Amino acid sequence: MGEAKRKAADLQKWLDALTEDERVVYDTARALFDCFIRPNHVGGMCYQSAFFLHEYIKNSHGIIVEPVIGYVNDGTDDVLMSHAWLEFRGKKTDVSLSFTSRPEINPPGQLIYLGRVFGKGQVYSYHREMSETGRSALEKLRITYIGALVDHKEREHAQMLAMAEDRSRIRAYLDSDPNGLTYEELVARISD
C-alpha cells in the first residue's frame, strides 16, 4: 500500500472510531476551517473561533464543548501567548493557529481536530495557566518597547477568560464583531 493510501485508510479508521457527538465537533470545526479560515488566510481569531464553535455546536446540536482560554508557546523562548481553543471530552480542537496574524513573529501552528494533528506546522505547547517562567518572560517584555502590547494582551486575556466562565456573554461578543463577522455571518459562511 502506498503512503497516500495508508494515510487515507488511517484517517478513515480514525473517523470511523469517532462517536456521533465527536463527529459533529469534527465536521463543524472542519467546516469553519475549510470554508472560512483557510480560503481567507484568517489569522488572529482564536477567541472568535473557539466561542463560535462552542455556540454553534450547542445551538445546532445540543452538544456542549468547552472554549478554553489559555496560553501557547512556540518553543523558541519562554513567552506564553494568550490563545483560545476548544476541548471536548479531553480532546483539543484548534483551527485558528495554522494561520497567525504575524507569521514572522509567531510561526503558523498545527491544525488539530479532537487531538489529531492534520498537516504540518509549528508544534506549540498548550497551557491553561501562566507559568512562573512565562510570567518572568512577559515581565522582561513589559520593560521593552512592546510593554503596552503586553498590557493590552493581558487585559484582553482576562476579558476572554471571564467570558468563557460566564458563557451567557459569548453570543453578544460574537454579534459585536467590528469587522461584521457576527455569529450569523459565520454560520452563513460554513453553511454554503
Do residues 113 and 26 make contact, with C-beta atoms less than 8 angstroms apart? yes
The amino acid present at 125, given as its one-letter code, is S
Find the helix or strand (DSSP H, E) in which 81 lies. strand 81-88
Per-residue pLDDT of the chain (192 residues; tens, 9 = 90+): 688 898 889 999 999 999 999 999 999 999 999 999 999 888 889 999 999 999 999 999 999 999 999 999 988 899 999 999 999 999 999 999 988 777 666 778 899 999 999 988 889 999 999 999 999 998 888 888 788 888 999 999 999 999 999 988 999 999 998 778 899 999 999 986
Q: CA-CA distance, 57 to 53, in Å (whole number)?
A: 6
Strand, helix or coil for residue 123: coil
- Total domains present in the chain: 1
Do residues 130 and 139 make contact, with C-beta atoms less than 8 angstroms apart? no
Q: By CB neighbour count within 10 A (0-12 exposed, 13-18 middle, 19+ buried), where does 90 fall?
A: exposed
